[in-house]
């Protein structure tokens, strides 16, 4: 008997989330003769991938030794059905649409990439499903719209034009390559989206690049003067920030004490105010809930300044606005003028971000749609696919030592059902 220890490499998240059907999907989607798509229309019939998975699971329960490579293609015809059955029984919604519910409880069919609604409003699911089944097989819903794609009229939910942008705040720096994220960087024009022709696309892209350049310059300036700005924190109207009533949880007292040590300038804040705003700052930076840690961060001050500037607007992430407030104030403008600039920045930033994000969504869709077969759903994706993508970013190994006694303490002991690697 070998004395070498056995190492089990176990992806715990995959073990917990990826069930039997997920592993079956991963396998059969690569079998010749099985459409690798959530659905595929053939004449007046629709193949539904999930129906095939259900059939195979049942068949394997009865005959576990059957070869999937042979069985799966043979059962594809049994996974065919009418369009109305695909919609009602298997929840198929034709790409790229989704069902939207209005405030009065009615249903509309929404085109995600174009941010537009198809004609018609439906009071019941049954009425809605009839139209979804029609679209699934390539039919055009009649009605009016301000744009059209593949002959289907639809109505934009919001205008998409440059004229809707508010006045852009002006600064006087030399243009640089933006160091901040921009939606249209690397995106090339695709025709087919009526509100945006090539000239308009280039104009939108230029404006986004210029705005990104401005933000990169402003951020660099603000960071250079952050230390001096902290010394003037008492004069920045931070004491005007309100919070909901409450107390700092007892189990967070250590974090609070550390916050007090790291931010001695924020004496205008009570304990609960300091804790509240730092937690909100961490959460608005897309940090996972309850997973943040206390750290000295100049961006926290910019975040607070942005909140002071935009409190009447109710905006979410305000750090960018606060950076501009810092720039204006440190170059000699009055605090009122600096806060006014911050509000202008927040309004313009929201508008240009919405315009460029919607344009990017539409252009990306056009590029994909021209390459994909018509009347077919997206390729099959599983939990493992998403986890594989996630592991490419900020991954770190974690080593856990486990003895046989640890395993024996677990009751009941389940037979392993996931493959592992040994050495």
Average of per-residue pLDDT across 313-332: 91
Q: What pLDDT is stored for residue 414 in this prediction?
A: 38
Q: What pLDDT is stored for residue 384 in this prediction?
A: 78
Q: Do residues 86 and 107 share a domain?
A: no
Average of per-residue pLDDT across 140-168: 93
Identify the domain containing residue 205 by its residue range. 173-369
Q: Do residues 179 and 111 share a domain?
A: no
Q: Do residues 351 and 394 share a domain?
A: no
pLDDT for 8 beyond 60: no
Q: Do residues 189 and 79 share a domain?
A: no
pLDDT for 196 beyond 80: yes
Q: Are 359 and 183 in contact (CB under 8 A)?
A: yes
Contacts of 347 by beta carbon, 8 Å cutoff, 6+ apart: 166, 313
Q: Do residues 181 and 316 share a domain?
A: yes
Least confident of 88-92, 207-211, 274-278, 282-286: 282-286
pLDDT for 1 beyond 50: no
Question: Confidence class of residue 420 from pLDDT cuts 50, 70 and 90?
Answer: very low
Please give the mean pLDDT across all residues of the chain: 86
Number of domains the chain contains:
3
Taking alpha carbons only, the member of 268, 280, 272, 269 closest to residue 307 is: 280
Is residue 414 assigned to a domain?
no
Question: Confidence class of residue 259 from pLDDT cuts 50, 70 and 90?
Answer: very high
Angle among Cα 351, 190, 139 to the nearest 5 degrees reads 95
Q: Do residues 142 and 207 share a domain?
A: no
C-alpha separations of 298 from 72, 195, 219, 323, 376 in Å: 58, 41, 11, 10, 49
Q: Are 257 and 274 in contact (CB under 8 A)?
A: no
pLDDT for 189 beyond 90: yes
Q: What pLDDT is stored for residue 413 in this prediction?
A: 36
Q: Do residues 359 and 215 share a domain?
A: yes
Question: Confidence class of residue 84 from pLDDT cuts 50, 70 and 90?
Answer: very high
Q: What pLDDT is stored for residue 316 in this prediction?
A: 76
Is residue 420 assigned to a domain?
no
Q: Do residues 241 and 312 share a domain?
A: yes
Helix or strand run (H / E) with residue 97: strand 97-101
Q: Do residues 67 and 123 share a domain?
A: no
* Predicted TM-score (pTM) above 0.95: no
């Amino acid at each position: 008997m070998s004395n070498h220890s056995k190492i089990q490499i176990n992806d715990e998240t995959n073990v917990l989330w990826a069930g039997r059907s997920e592993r079956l999907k991963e396998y059969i989607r690569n079998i010749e003769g099985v459409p690798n798509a959530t659905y595929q229309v053939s004449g007046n019939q629709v193949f539904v991938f999930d129906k095939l998975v259900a059939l195979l699971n049942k068949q394997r329960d009865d005959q576990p030794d059957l070869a999937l490579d042979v069985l799966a293609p043979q059962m594809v015809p049994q996974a065919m059905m009418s369009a109305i059955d695909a919609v009602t029984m298997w929840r198929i919604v034709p790409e790229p649409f989704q069902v939207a519910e209005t405030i009065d409880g009615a249903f509309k069919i929404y085109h995600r990439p174009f941010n537009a609604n198809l004609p018609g409003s439906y009071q019941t699911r049954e009425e809605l499903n009839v139209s979804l089944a029609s679209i699934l097989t390539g039919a055009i819903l009649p009605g009016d719209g301000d744009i059209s794609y593949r002959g289907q009229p639809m109505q934009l939910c919001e205008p998409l034009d440059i004229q809707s942008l508010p006045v852009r705040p002006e600064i006087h720096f030399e243009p640089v390559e933006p160091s901040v994220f921009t939606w249209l960087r690397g995106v090339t024009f695709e025709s087919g989206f009526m509100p945006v022709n090539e000239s308009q696309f280039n104009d939108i892209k230029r404006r986004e690049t210029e705005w990104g350049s401005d933000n990169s310059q402003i951020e660099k300036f603000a960071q250079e003067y952050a230390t001096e700005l902290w010394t003037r924190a008492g004069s920045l109207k931070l004491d005007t920030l309100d919070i909901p009533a409450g107390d700092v949880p007892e189990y967070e007292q250590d974090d609070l004490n550390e916050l007090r040590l790291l931010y001695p300038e924020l004496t205008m804040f009570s304990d609960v105010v300091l804790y509240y705003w730092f937690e909100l700052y961490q959460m608005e930076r897309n940090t996972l809930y309850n997973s943040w840690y206390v750290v000295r961060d100049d961006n926290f001050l910019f975040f607070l300044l942005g909140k002071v500037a935009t409190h009447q607007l109710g905006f979410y992430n305000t750090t960018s606005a606060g950076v501009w407030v810092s720039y204006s104030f440190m170059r000699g403008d009055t605090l009122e003028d600096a806060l006014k600039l911050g509000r202008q920045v927040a309004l313009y930033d929201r508008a240009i971000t919405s315009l460029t994000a919607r344009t990017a969504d539409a252009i990306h869709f056009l590029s994909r749609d021209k390459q994909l077969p018509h009347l077919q759903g997206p390729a099959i994706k599983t939990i493992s696919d998403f986890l594989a993508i996630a592991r490419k970013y900020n991954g770190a190994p974690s080593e856990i030592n486990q003895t046989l006694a640890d395993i024996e303490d677990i009751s009941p002991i389940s037979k392993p059902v996931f493959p592992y690697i040994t050495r």
